[in-house]
Amino acid sequence: MLAKRIIPCLDIKNGQTVKGINFLELKDVGDPVALGRRYAQEGADELVYLDISASMEGRRTFAELVTRIAANINIPFTVGGGIASVEDAGRLLKAGADKVTVNSAAVMNPQLISDIAQKYGNQFIVVAIDAKQIDGVWRVTTHGGHRLTERELFSWAREAQDRGAGEILFTSMDHDGTKNGYPCETYARMAEMLSIPVIASGGAGSIEDIAEVLTVGRADAALAASIFHYGEIPIPKLKQALHEQQIPVRI
């Protein structure tokens, strides 16, 4: 069995790692290169950096940051935030990112997934999906969960895979930030349906939550932010606990 991955997520604004709630009340939590290096030393398997700066100046700053990250970190890292074209993706891959992630732009223009996959390969593209339950149906949202679409979670995940996505990063907007655990039945259904890896995001509040989504939820990886940034669950402690539960992880 492949090892399960632990992936810290770092939101970047104007070159700094920030953390807030729904992108509000943002606080600096550290230099993204130093923080990434620390997580790598602690045993993180991969990192995700998301650019939440809206301006073109922010885009340039982010590309420069990606170059610095690539020069200083020895584990794979994925970058995203505002990627709306093959050119956007190419600029970040050329700067040294291992993968790119697309979300809202792909919902609005699904061909973007196909175009990036055809140009760079499936292994370079992660499709992030934010969804919430409306009357028992998982509906896809965009713009950080603020805009509801007509798309349904499972059909969109399958389409993303068919168009060339190498991985799916699914966040339940109902669980994000609650620290009450993941919707494991939903992850298990997605893992059963897809042939590509599924990354679980949003809801981790304890080691038990992460263990459950990696076993009952059948997720291939768990992504989290606050619990790592604020030292609530150190990565070595998390991995040791997972190992003791016979969950395959790289120690």
Annotated active-site residue 51? The verdict is no
Q: pLDDT tens, 19-54?
A: 765 555 677 778 999 999 999 999 999 999 999 876
Q: Are 10 and 50 in contact (CB under 8 A)?
A: yes
Question: What's the whole-number average pLDDT of the chain?
Answer: 93
Tell me what percent of the residues of the chain surpass a pLDDT of 70: 96
For residue 21, what pLDDT is reported? 57
Q: What is the DSSP letter of 176?
A: T
Tell me the pLDDT tens digit for each residue of 136-165. 999 999 988 889 999 999 999 999 999 999
Give me the domains of the chain, ranges plus CATH numbers: 5-244 (3.20.20.70)
- CA nearest neighbour of 99 among 39, 52, 164: 164
* Residues 196-221: tens digit of each pLDDT: 999 999 989 999 999 999 999 999 99
CA distance 210 to 213: 5
Per-residue pLDDT for 59 more than 80? Answer: no
| pLDDT given at position 47 | 98
Give the pLDDT score at 33: 97
Nearest to 182 by CA among 215, 145, 141: 215
pLDDT at 55: 63
Q: Cβ distance 220 to 199 under 8 Å?
A: yes
Q: Mutual orientation of helices 235-244 and 207-215 as an angle, nearest 10°?
A: 50
User: Active site residue: 45, 88, 130, 220, which one?
Assistant: 130
Cβ 129 vs Cβ 101: under 8 Å? no
Q: Using an 8 Å Cβ cutoff, are 35 and 234 in contact?
A: no
What is the pLDDT, as a whole number, of residue 190?
Answer: 98
Q: What is the pLDDT of residue 25?
A: 63
- Rounded to an integer, the average pLDDT of 47-71 is 86
> For residue 199, with 0-12 CB atoms within 10 Å meaning exposed, 13-18 middle and 19 or more buried, which class applies?
buried
Choose the catalytic residue: 11, 51, 209, 220: 11
Inter-residue contact 200 to 188 (CB < 8 Å)? no
Active site residue 130: yes
Q: What is the DSSP letter of 145?
A: T
Q: What is the pLDDT of residue 24?
A: 55
Q: Tell me the C-alpha distance between 148 and 43, whole Å.
A: 37
